[in-house]
Amino acid sequence: MNFFERAYEILEPILPRKFDENEWFTIFITILVLSVFTYLHKRYNTLLTTEIIAILLFNLLYTTVGDYFLAMEPYDLYDTVDHDSGELMDILLQTIVYPFTLLILMNYYAEKSLNNLLYIMFGAGLLLGLEWVGTEFFNLFTYKKWKLWYSLIFYIPVMISNIFFYNKFHGYIKSQIRGN
């Protein structure tokens, strides 16, 4: 068995069953989210590198733990892309799309002085809208016992915890800068 055959054998369980609209959408949304963040960061440079890393790690943890508990046994409420668990495109969604979307939202939050309640509703609505588009038009999720409106119940605490986390972390960073 040569190197490529062995590599394929190892990767085969996480490769898409077929390369269709949900893989194209995942690639598109990954590029879009990274492009928007890069533009905002270069244009406004609102968040410090430490804040960017902290927000990304916080949301990477959030999405990984959330998907693990909700999409795996014993609950098994939904599937993502082509498999019932872990696929290559899941890696993009969990490590780039979801954390960077929240990073964009928090970048905008940090840039403007916004009403927390309205911003929580805006962010949760935006995340719900993105999920609806991904599910309705690109078969990104296959709901088993999950309903779309459950996601709103999930996204509201996501936004609350992100705003709380950002405010606390930002305050800590500012106090450290002032203390030096």
Q: Tell me the per-residue pLDDT of 25-66, one tens digit each, with 9 for 90 and over.
A: 999 999 999 999 999 999 999 999 999 999 999 999 988 888
d(CA 132, CA 129): 5
Instruction: Tell me the percentage of the chain whose pLDDT exceeds 70.
Output: 97
What per-residue confidence (pLDDT) applies to 13?
76
d(CA 43, CA 125): 25
Taking the domains of the chain in order of start, what are their residue ranges? 28-179
What per-residue confidence (pLDDT) applies to 100?
97
Q: Which of 38-42, 75-79, 102-106, 131-135 has the lowest mean pLDDT?
A: 75-79
CA angle 71, 153, 76 (to 5 degrees): 15
d(CA 110, CA 103): 10
Residue 90 pLDDT level (bands cut at 50, 70, 90): confident
pTM: 0.89
Residue with more model confidence, 73 or 52 = 52
